[in-house]
Amino acid sequence: MATFELADLGADFTADPYALYARMRELGPVHEVRGADGWRFWLIVGYEECRAAFGDPRLAKSSPFQDEEDRIMGRHVLISDPPDHTRLRRLVAKEFTPRRVAAMRPRVQEITDGLLDAMLPAGRADLVDALSFPLPITVICELLGVPHEDRDSFRAWSNDVVAPTDAERSRTSVLAMRDYLDALIARRRGAEPGDDLLSGLLRTEAEGEDRLSAEEVRAMAFILLVAGHETTVNLISNGVRALLQHPDQLAALRADPDLLDGAIEEMLRYDGPVENATFRFTTEPVLLGGTEIPAGEPVLVGLASADRDPRRFAEPDTFDIRRSAEGGAGHLAFGHGIHFCLGAPLARLEARIAIGSLLERAPKLALDEPDRAFDWVPGLLIRGTRHLPVRW
């Protein structure tokens, strides 16, 4: 076990963290780390240790250091433990059902077709602005009942929350989102109920013994909006970027579109949209991979590192869209255990439709200015670039 100072690594680490994660794994599966902001925490980098951590009740999601965002927005499934987590997830899952997600396929295709209709005549575009962002934000806002004209505001607020560069700006965005959601919830509870997910959550609030409180509805809407689009934005962009940087894999997928489902899983493994899971906290000393983490310590489960662990994946730094078909599935991009991503089916659906339709309609798709450096999203949570210039 060694201590790593991320502040010393700068922008190179943000652009390519995988080399450092490989060095960490060689030294052991668990390390003490000091972030660029000076905060000290523990990072789990081995696949088996990460998987074990996801199922260890001694690694709690409820924080002894509750941050301002949580105080402002309220408790949701990402910062709860059983039995609260069990109750919250069950109530949300009653509304966010596989049937509801499957029924969205025609609408997701319709939105994608409209975005491509607008994008393709120009011959070049920023894929993030033209497709990767507007598709998932439109889908999740329609699902929750957020009016179309408010979606650009949500993009700005969400960026400040998941990749903060200024503490005061981040706080201002959280407050703005809270006030907006409170007003929207008041309308849905009053004169403007609908058949959207938010209205369904409010009906859950109003019915029966076991229900969501008003604060819980707001917190759940917040996490569904933020997690429901930020991850999919970067799944689509990272996946397209991986294909364009690996022309042999792109050619194989074009030759056999039936490889698309496996390609999506490999995109999630190879360069997934979430670099590290949100913080957990030890409730007692925890021994992982031969290293004891003391009680009361913050811990990150390293998804990006786990999914490049050579003990689990052969040639892990190779992008191979046939990997899952050859027994290489089992990535942790959506987590594992009771906190497994509730929106994983929707994210997969959107990625399949977006990437499949893009490749079909833009047969000469390529990176625009391929030597230009990417503008990477800062921080340890989201893995992706703010822009992806492409041409066709």
- Distance, in Å, from the CA atom of 233 to the CA atom of 384, rounded to the nearest integer, reads 9
Strand order in the sheet with 389-391: 124-126, 389-391, 366-367
∠ Cα 272 303 350 (to 5°):
30
Residue 336 is part of a domain; what is its CATH number?
A: 1.10.630.10
Torsion of CA 267, 371, 373, 18, to 10 degrees: 40
Name 281's bridge partners: 60, 298
| Domain tally, the chain | 1
Nearest alpha-carbon partner for 127 in 348, 351, 334: 351
- Per-residue pLDDT tens, the chain, 392 aa: give them: 568 888 778 788 999 999 999 999 999 999 999 987 778 999 999 999 999 999 999 999 987 765 666 677 887 888 899 999 998 898 888 777 888 888 999 999 999 999 999 999 999 999 999 999 999 999 988 888 888 888 788 778 887 877 777 778 888 888 888 898 888 888 888 766 677 888 888 876 555 556 778 888 888 888 888 887 889 999 999 999 999 999 999 999 999 999 999 999 999 999 999 999 999 999 999 999 999 999 999 999 999 999 999 999 999 999 999 998 655 579 999 999 999 998 999 999 999 999 999 999 999 999 998 888 999 998 899 999 999 999 99
Q: How far is CA 173 from CA 4, 134, 141, 215, in A?
A: 31, 20, 18, 18
pTM for this prediction: 0.92
Residue 309 belongs to domain spanning:
3-391
Compute CA distances 32 → 39, 41, 108, whole Å. Answer: 11, 6, 43
